Amino acid sequence: MSDRLRVKKTYKLYVGGKFPRSESGRSYPVTTPDGTELANAALASRKDVRDAVAAARKAHRPWAAATAYLRGQILYRAAEMLEGRSGQFAAELASSTGADPGEALGTVEAAIDRLVHYAGWTDKFASVAGGANPVAGPYFNHTKPEPLGVVGLLAPQDDPLLGLVETIAPAVAAGNAVVVVASESRPLPAIGFAEVLATSDLPGGVVNLLSGRVAELAPWLASHADVNGLDLTGVDDPELAAGLEREAAENLKVVRRPGSGTDSLASLRRWTEYKTVWHPAGMAAAAGGGY
């Protein structure tokens, strides 16, 4: 039996399609529930939040302009890549959470199914959430959902893979770019999922993943004027959650409170706004009228 010292891996952030270290150079140990050290994770800083938001803003417009079919195919590809590594993810999930190996594999399979589910919604959501409106006049009037823009997501603390996927998938399927703060004590499944996304044809910057202290990073997401929505699912401290809501209100963010449910249609609607377009019909169209 070898007595060599095992070198602990230090996992990096995922920002703009790349895997940088935290600009602060900090990291922190990640352990099993019984205290056995697994690896080190980057401890993101305020500057890392700003870099991630800038990457998301740059990626948002082309991602929102992509066809719904393409967005769906990319999410399908992510599901395929996750399925190909399901054994690895199950083992990592079991060691991170202390779950039974069979239970951990079931969680990974549920995460795969959730990706496929939202991939299927991408080219159907606009038809369900939008539509033609009746008007009194020679006009067509159509309402359609459009993505908010950049969404900050605080992933669940105790559900580091399935909860993460359920947080990311609807926002991305709806055409948003996201900045995600992973589970603080169990970030390894999330970082592994970032590797899946990096090999799934997802454009760099659409998903940006940070590991670190929620209480340190979340206020900078809440107060950032270039973030349009904030998901507080991963905030366990009611006082912190209330403070984040106040910060978000200062710049008119859409906020998802903890415990607000995971209904798929509601989750897609949450990260969209609605645009109504008028178009002349009949004589008005021929005359060039309308507005």
Q: What is the pLDDT of residue 291?
A: 45
Which range has the worst mean pLDDT, 68-72, 141-145, 280-284? 280-284
Domain 13-22+40-287 -> CATH class: alpha beta
pLDDT in tens, 113-132: 999 999 999 999 999 998 88
- The per-residue pLDDT for range 8-22, each reduced to its tens digit, is 788 999 999 999 999
Task: Give, in degrees to the nearest 5, the angle at Cα 149 between 147 and 154.
Answer: 105
More confident residue, 4 or 287: 4
Query: Using one digit for the tens of pLDDT, what is the confidence trace for 22-70?
Result: 999 999 999 999 999 999 999 999 999 999 999 999 999 999 999 999 9
Q: Which residues pair with 184 in a beta bridge?
A: none
**Residue of 92, 87, 85, 90 lying closest to 103 (CA atoms):** 90
Q: Please say whether the beta carbons of 260 and 267 come within 8 A.
A: no
- What is the DSSP annotation of 229-241? EEE-TT---HHHH
Calculate mean pLDDT across residues 181-200.
96
pTM of the full structure: 0.92
Beta carbons within 8 Å of 128's beta carbon, 6+ residues apart: 265
